[in-house]
Structure 1
Amino acid sequence: MGSIVGHVETAESGTTVVVVTWRGAGHLTDCLDALAAQDRPHRTLVVDNAADDATARLLAAHPSAPRVLRLPRNTGYAGAMSAALAEVTTPRMAWLNDDAAPGPGWLAALEDALDAAPLAAAASARLTRPDGSVQSTGVRLTADGHGADLTEPTPDVFGFCGGAALLRTDALRAVGGVPASYFCYYEDTDTAWRLRLAGWDVVSVEKAQVTHLHGASTNPGSPLFHRWNERNRLLTLLRCAPGPVAARELAKFAVLTAVLPLRGKPEAANFRLGLRAGVLAAVAARLPATLLARAAITRRSTLGRGAVWEAWAGN
């Protein structure tokens, strides 16, 4: 369990914005300043993933006096969001990366979008890089089960980008919360998929503008990034996709891994034999728990896995 610093939260209308940080002292101030400038009242909860830099001092000194949940070890983005969910008492919970700086109307735009869409459980913001290029307006589901960022404005999205999104707290809890064991990557796609199976919609909100450094705490493209990404994609398929689809994609991954020695030394990290073998070993070790989770997801679902797949995969 972690330790709580700050005021005691009581149940009320509104939103708790959850910011997960780990060694975020170099960029966290911009995030907190941007939250303090929001034109909609909210609570801020910062989950400190056992940072060993100046993060704790920065949080204690920041004028917005955010509530802080300090964890005894680094549990990644997924683990921290899962821990935060247990502390949230507001009807809405926002997910926000610590290297993201939302515009002053960000939260209001997301709240208004959910108010206008009672069948939606999540609203995804528009994330742009510092150079102005669009990183994400939401997440689509590819034909082979990848969660991929959309970069064009569209109200219909399969899922939300976990870097800046707003969720209905009760809906999130009802579908099983956040997959804490993922550590990071695919926790948003998995959550959106379970919401879809439970009959909820997800919307994209163009007016909810966020500037995102992207990768300030992790290194996209690194071997560790690919290990988490590939493992969690396969686990998400085993949890949420139709059985034949999950089996097909797992078999494709295993077969390609087996023939890699015949193809010479790959340049891309995600095609290295050792990395992929480690992914398969991790998935195999988690298979019993994953199948139990799949059964629980089935019990909570109101739509069939096939119906959701046909509606969204590759579209």
Structure 2
Amino acid sequence: MDARTTVVVVTWRGRDRIAACLAALAAQTRPHRTIVVDNASDDGTAEVLAGQDVAGHDVEVRRLPANAGYAGALAAVRAETEFTAWLNDDALPAPDWLARMEDALDADPRAAAASARLVRPDGTTQSLGVRLTPDGHGADATAAPVFGFCGGAALLRTSLAGEVPAEYFCYYEDTVTSWRMRLAGWDVIAVPEARVEHAHGASTAIGSPAFHLWNERNRLWTLLRCAPRAVAWRQVARFAALTAMLPLRRGVPDAPNFRVGLRLRVLGQVLRRLPRPVGARAARAAVWREWAGA
């Protein structure tokens, strides 16, 4: 049977986890191609990849000259198969993961992407996909239906995936892609039976200054691209107003996203690179009403 899916695994300093991820992929019950994109790791990841026994499995390793982030690494791959899977290097898919994902998309021709069930090492559910909050954050959804797919373990129809925004570097590349799919009239589905064990945040420290910079910047970029114009600019204005008020407030949390310097960097990057909106105004308003509850 010919492979219908190209699995793209992005790794950065993944020496201690990439071998396990590839072993889980080798155990899949469906044929597939695997492309590992190494984001210029400097911890011995390249040596681990070079020593992997991939006999009988179609694995290609691409090493980037610099760290392009998750989004940049995904943007560097152009799959030629019917489906493209995104998989974190700290994810361990069950042997039937890919089969269940392909079958789900086959059964629903209106679905442009499918999101797996990500579970923590203790077996509890971390995510079935992405939901939209009233202020436009993409958050983990633990119940279906879902607004979008979680990029940690997802399957996309290659012809509908579009361009991954490399400038995002990390975070929201899945949310903005889901937005584009829904604006074009496609659905995104959750596949709870497709289980993937995920060590969340193994590559990036959740709560670090870099996390908050990318998270807040990319949220605003995504809203400016995809949400109704009034919604997007209201969120930018709220972010700017809170930033201006922080020096005057008492009891400000000691967290990076409440630091004025970091927030000014977010605003500067957002305003220097304003994205072009996608989708018709009516579609943006309809998607926002349905999924953000506003």
CA distance in 2, matches of 1:103, 1:166: 15
CA distance in 1, matches of 2:48, 2:247: 49
Counterpart in 1 of 2:285?
A: 306
Residues 1:303 and 1:205: Cα distance change in structure 2 (over 3 Å): farther
Q: Deviations over 1:250-288 (max 9, x none)?
A: 11101011000011353122111111111001111112x
Give 2:53's aligned amino acid.
P
Counterpart in 2 of 1:6?
A: none
Counterpart in 2 of 1:97?
A: 88
Say whether the 8 Å CA contact 1:197–1:303 is kept in structure 2.
no
Q: Deviations over 1:195-224 (max 9, x none)?
A: 100111000001110000111110001111
Give 2:257's aligned amino acid.
N
Counterpart in 2 of 1:245?
A: 231
Say whether the 8 Å CA contact 1:199–1:302 is kept in structure 2.
no
Q: What secondary structure sits across from 1:306 in the alignment?
A: helix
Q: What secondary structure sits across from 2:80 in the alignment?
A: coil
Segment drifting more, 156-165 vs 128-137: 128-137
Say whether the 8 Å CA contact 2:3–2:31 is kept in structure 1.
no
Say whether the 8 Å CA contact 1:80–1:180 is kept in structure 2.
yes
CA distance in 2, matches of 1:163, 1:24: 15
Counterpart in 1 of 2:254?
A: 267
The answer to whether 1:116 aligns with 2:115 is no
Counterpart in 2 of 1:197?
A: 183
CA distance in 2, matches of 1:108, 1:63: 23
CA distance in 1, matches of 2:29, 2:262: 46
Q: 233, 242, 259: which one pairs with 1:256? A: 242
Give 1:75's aligned amino acid.
A
Gaps of 5+ in 2: none
Counterpart mapping for 1:57-76 below 5 A: 57-64=47-54, 66-76=59-69
Following superposition, the deviation at residue 53 of structure 1 comes to: 1.8
Following superposition, the deviation at residue 302 of structure 1 comes to: 10
Counterpart in 2 of 1:278?
A: 265
The answer to whether 1:44 aligns with 2:31 is no
Q: Provide the identity percentage.
A: 64
Counterpart in 2 of 1:15?
A: 5
Q: 147, 151, 167: which one pairs with 1:162? A: 151
Gaps of 5+ in 1: 1-11
Counterpart in 2 of 1:215?
A: 201
Q: TM-score, normalised by structure 1?
A: 0.89
Give 1:178's aligned amino acid.
V
Residues 1:302 and 1:276: Cα distance change in structure 2 (over 3 Å): closer
Give 1:72's aligned amino acid.
P
Give 2:155's aligned amino acid.
L
CA distance in 1, matches of 2:208, 2:41: 21
Q: TM-score, normalised by structure 2?
A: 0.95
Following superposition, the deviation at residue 13 of structure 1 comes to: 5.3
Say whether the 8 Å CA contact 2:3–2:32 is kept in structure 1.
no
Say whether the 8 Å CA contact 2:3–2:33 is kept in structure 1.
no
CA distance in 2, matches of 1:303, 1:191: 18
Residues 1:280 and 1:208: Cα distance change in structure 2 (over 3 Å): same
